[in-house]
Amino acid sequence: MAPPAAVREKHARDGATRRGDAQAIRSVIAREAAAAGFSAVRIARVGDLGAEPGQRFLKFIAERLHGDMDWLEAKAERRKHPNAMWPEARSAIVLGLSYAPDEDPLRFLAARDRASISVYASRRDYHDVVKPRLKRVARAVQIATSADVKVFVDTAPLMEKPLAALAGLGWQGKHTNLVSREHGSWLYLGIVLTAAEIAPDEAEVSHCGNCRRCLDVCPTAAFPSPYQLDARRCISYLTIEHKGPIPHEFRTAIGNRIYGCDDCLAVCPWNKFAQAAHDQQLAIRPETQGPRLADLLTLHDEAFRKRFAGTPIRRAGHARFMRNALIAAGNSGDATLVPHIEALLGHESPLVRGAAVWALSRLKQQDDLQKLAQAHTRETDESVREEWAMALAS
Are 67 and 237 in contact by the 8 Å Cβ rule? The answer is: yes
DSSP 237: I
**Under 8 Å CB-to-CB from 327, ≥6 apart: which residues?**
246, 251, 254, 258, 355, 358, 359
Q: Which of 200, 214, 331, 328 lies closest to 269 in space, CA to CA?
A: 214
The whole-angstrom separation of Cα 87 and Cα 149 is 12
Q: Are strands 149-152 and 116-117 parallel, antiparallel or unpaired?
A: unpaired
Residue 14 in domain: yes
Q: Report which DSSP code applies to 241.
A: I
Is 15 inside any structural domain? yes
Residue 315, in any domain of the structure: no
Angle at 79 between CA 73 and CA 85, to 5 degrees: 130
Q: How many CB atoms lie under 10 A from the CB of residue 319?
A: 19
Average pLDDT of span 327-346: 97
First to last CA, the chain: 92
- The answer as to whether 47 is a domain residue is yes
Q: Is the pLDDT of residue 3 over 80?
A: no
Q: Indicate whether 194 belongs to any domain.
A: yes
The whole model's pTM is what? Answer: 0.91
Residue 140 lies in a domain: yes
* Known active-site residue 102: no
Mean pLDDT taken over the chain: 93
Q: How distant, in Å, are the alpha carbons of 56, 87, 148, 201 from that of 166?
A: 16, 19, 22, 8
pLDDT of residue 246: 98
Q: Is residue 161 part of a domain?
A: yes
Please give the tally of structural domains in the chain.
1
Q: What percentage of residues in the chain have a pLDDT greater than 70? A: 95
The predicted model gives 100-111 an average pLDDT of 96
φ and ψ at residue 214, rounded to 5 degrees? -65, -35
For 181, the domain range is: 5-110+120-209+261-285
pLDDT confidence bin for 376, thresholds 50/70/90: confident
Buried b (16+ CB within 10 A) or exposed e, 231-268: bbbbbbbbbbbbeebbeeebbebbbbbbbbbbbbbbbb
Catalytic residue among 68, 148, 154, 279: 154
- pLDDT at position 5 is 52
Q: Do 96 and 187 contact (CB within 8 A), yes or no? A: yes
Domain-located, residue 240: no
